[in-house]
Amino acid sequence: MAHVLYYAAPLFTAAERDWNAANCARLRRRFPQVDIVVPQEFCAAFDNSPTPDFARIFAACVGHLATSTAVLAVLDGPDPDSGTCWEAGYAYAKGLPVVGLRTDWRPAEDGVANCMLTRSCLAVARNLDEACIALDACLH
């Protein structure tokens, strides 16, 4: 069975989308045998109208999570993105390994982020290279 990595991250600003695209390009080079699924890519057809099709966006995200092997969740910000938090929690409840990526240096609850997030992650990495090390065990 092929491995699938779900990349959960905020995707609402041009900066977020560009950073996600750069991270996913690096992940695809690092894990060429792994299918990297990214909501900003697979939901693009549902969100370019004045009114996004939220039902289809939700269904697509849940469907991709259901076929994933692991989740990489970007946990930056004083309060990480609510959709990313939901995806990480859903993955945890389904028994999928979750690796957190927090490049934000601001201290937070539990030392790094909200304890409900940090305690549901297999590891919380400070950069993408550290996250890849934690993902190696999940994807091989």
Task: Sketch out the chain's domains with CATH numbers.
Answer: 4-139 (3.40.50.450)
pTM over 0.85: yes
CB-CB contact of 100 with 123 (8 Å): yes
pLDDT at 1: 56
Q: Would you state the pLDDT for residue 35?
A: 97
Residue 134: both structure tokens together = 């934690």
Q: Residues 24, 36: contact at Cβ < 8 Å?
A: yes
Cβ-based neighbours of 43, under 8 Å, separated by 6 or more: 56, 57, 60, 61
Positions of the chain with pLDDT lower than 50, given as ranges = none
Tokens matching residue 41: 């890519």
